[in-house]
Structure 1
Amino acid sequence: MIVERLQEDISSMRLMPGSRISEPDIAARFGVSRQPVRDAFSRLESMGLLRIRPRKATEVKRFSRGEIEKSRFVRAAVEMEVLRRAARRCVAADGHELDACLALQRKALAKGDQLAFAQLDYDFHRAVCGIAGVPFAFDVIHAEKKKVDRLCMLALSREDRMPQLIDDHARIAEAVKAGREEEAVEAGTVHLSRLDATIEAIKVASAAYFEDED
């Protein structure tokens, strides 16, 4: 529970990059001893969300340009193949599933619910993996997407991004339902590129959120 709660706090930007957290404070928050907190910190460090420094304060990990580039490359490679397979395999019931995902996203948009939309974004990509017959591919997409979720939340909060992302999902869904592989890949590529300009803008406006890298 500690890992999941802290992961959510970090991903949703309730704990900002560079924020300091301590074992005693977290232990008091959850009413546990320090050992389970220490274990949770270790897991979160392995997930790339915390930076544990001996004899210094533990920090929420800042963004790494190199890690972001690597994560997005891996995700794009996997997701493009998923889209090709989904377009080849999609049947009527699969199309209804994609339509249902989009309907829920539009409800989140109407409510201005960014957290709900973020989860529904995961659900859409999970559904596409299922249609493609490679549900295990979502494990990779999920892991890589988690690494940039904080940037996505910044983008959603600073810009009116939800309508654009829903339009992207709708174009992907239509191409998949129609069996148009390359059109699905093109729509997916555009979708994944949406964060590029935001990353550059955040680097300028919030340089302190990024690690110093040569």
Structure 2
Amino acid sequence: MRLLIVEDELKTATFLKRGLTENGFVVDTAHNGEDGLHLVLTGTYDLVILDVGLPERSGWSVVTEIRQHGKGLPVLFLTARDTVTDRIKGLELGADDYLVKPFSFAELLVRVRTILRRGPLRNEDTLQIADLTIDLNRHRAFRSGTRLDLAPKEFSLLSLLARRAGEVLTRTVIADQLWDMNFDSGTNVVDVAIRRLRTKVDDPFPQKLIHTIRGVGYVLEEH
């Protein structure tokens, strides 16, 4: 599989390329946003590892252009931007995952392989699962034509589940992506958030879409 690393820190780019090459990937690199975007639009890649703070064009801008051109290839943000707002912005712009520097290469490798097993991102502006419709651009969600009154965090949680529909997301993954926290098994923040989301997305409707996989996590899918 062919990967593209868009990273302006030469030491980091070299480290990543060597490690990924040793694990069987073919790797290209670019060191600014314009070159990275050009390679994506003219080449064929299975995944892009993208920094946010790039010269010439930011990672935000690059992923936006990728999606606007209809490219569904997976994007993994690898960046020092570690706030919850940054993570949510990256996911809402169309990234598959978001890993904060400093990072463990072993974790990066696991995330890359997990993303590649999933296949291309569902990159439509609108996601449809059963009678649930999610308008990612306008931050609106509907069931059977009825608009759901979702708080911003609830919409982000629903969008995360919908983008990865059919995949069981662990509490750790959800907490990492939306709350910028290391999940503690004694903390019920994810369960509380799912419960509140269900009261709006599932409870008023006969078909339930958010399912609990006991001991693992949650999945959005139609049974």
| TM above 0.5 | no
Structure with more helix by fraction: 1
Structure with more strand by fraction: 2
Structure of greater relative contact order (alpha carbons < 8 Å, 6+ residues apart): 1
TM-score normalized with structure 2 length: 0.29
Bigger CA radius of gyration: 1
